[in-house]
């Protein structure tokens, strides 16, 4: 896809985000995260140089590390599953880790953040559809993980993240988003004051407007609708 088309796609999505906010009677900010999995370093440079996005997200640690220097003015998000042995590579590069879902990962994030003398902002990832194929903690275990993270002085929780099931039943999906929003509000009331619970990360190409209108999303993670199909044959990887 040509870069000029990507510019137009970003502009259109930003407009549709505002439309969804209007429908929901919202005036707060919704951040568009460009999910750049398999996209080129040249695209990152183009986005950065032209100020098209403020935030980009990578699913894989290796890609984030490789592309980081090409988007120095961008805020980088780790939006995919994170292995404990790879935390050290991205701890000082990410504005936000979206996929904290277990105690062992909290241990490693806290350890690496302490080494770098920083506070790591994280979201707890929730498996709203109880799908075996997806990451995220089960709903019933969220507060157990919250209590555990409260002991980690170098982690600051910012909210919750989920990847919703790919449901054809829109009514059922709307209900899931409403349930996620309710869970988020309850979670915000139980987290201690040292955290800053202000992020609800949900919504992708197929359902981001619904996520904003019914789920209260404050961050949406869009890839295909912005950049086209993923490019698995990049010459620069």
Nearest to 201 by CA among 52, 59, 30, 83: 30
**CA 138, chain centre distance (Å):** 18
Across 195-220, b (16+ Cβ under 10 Å) vs e yields bebebbbbbbeebbbbbbbbbbbbbb
Name residue, tokens 């197929």: 206
**Integer Cα distance of 182 and 10 in angstroms:** 29
- pLDDT digits (tens), the chain, 237 positions: 899 999 999 999 999 999 999 999 999 999 999 999 999 999 999 999 999 999 999 999 999 999 999 999 999 999 999 999 999 999 999 999 999 999 999 999 999 999 999 999 999 999 998 877 788 999 999 999 999 999 999 999 999 999 999 888 999 999 999 999 999 999 999 999 999 999 999 999 999 999 999 999 999 999 999 998 766 444 333
Query: Which residues, at least 6 apart from 14, have a Cβ–Cβ distance to it below 8 Å?
Result: 32
| Tokens matching residue 180 | 């996620």
Instruction: Centre a 10 Å sphere on the Cβ of residue 96 and count the other Cβ atoms it contains.
Output: 23
């Amino acid at each position: 896809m040509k870069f000029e088309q990507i510019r137009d796609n970003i502009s259109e999505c930003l407009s549709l985000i505002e439309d969804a906010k209007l429908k929901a009677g919202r005036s707060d900010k919704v951040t568009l995260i460009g999910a750049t999995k398999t996209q080129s370093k040249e695209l990152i440079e183009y986005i950065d140089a032209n100020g098209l996005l403020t935030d980009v997200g990578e699913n894989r640690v290796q890609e984030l590390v490789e592309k980081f220097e090409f988007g120095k003015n961008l805020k980088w998000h780790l939006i995919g599953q994170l292995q404990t042995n790879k935390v050290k590579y991205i701890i000082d590069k990410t504005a936000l880790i979206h996929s904290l879902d277990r105690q062992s990962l909290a241990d490693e994030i806290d350890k690496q953040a302490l080494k770098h003398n920083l506070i790591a902002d994280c979201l707890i990832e929730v498996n709203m559809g109880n799908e075996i194929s997806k990451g995220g903690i089960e709903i019933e275990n969220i507060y157990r993980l919250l209590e555990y993270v409260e002991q980690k002085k170098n982690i600051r929780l910012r909210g919750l993240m989920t990847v919703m099931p790919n449901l054809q039943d829109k009514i059922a999906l709307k209900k899931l988003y409403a349930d996620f929003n309710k869970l988020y509000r309850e979670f915000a009331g139980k987290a201690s004051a040292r955290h800053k619970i202000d992020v609800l990360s949900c919504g992708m190409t197929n359902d981001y407007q619904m996520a904003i209108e019914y789920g209260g999303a404050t961050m949406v993670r869009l890839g295909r609708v912005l950049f086209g199909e993923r490019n698995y044959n990049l010459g620069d990887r």
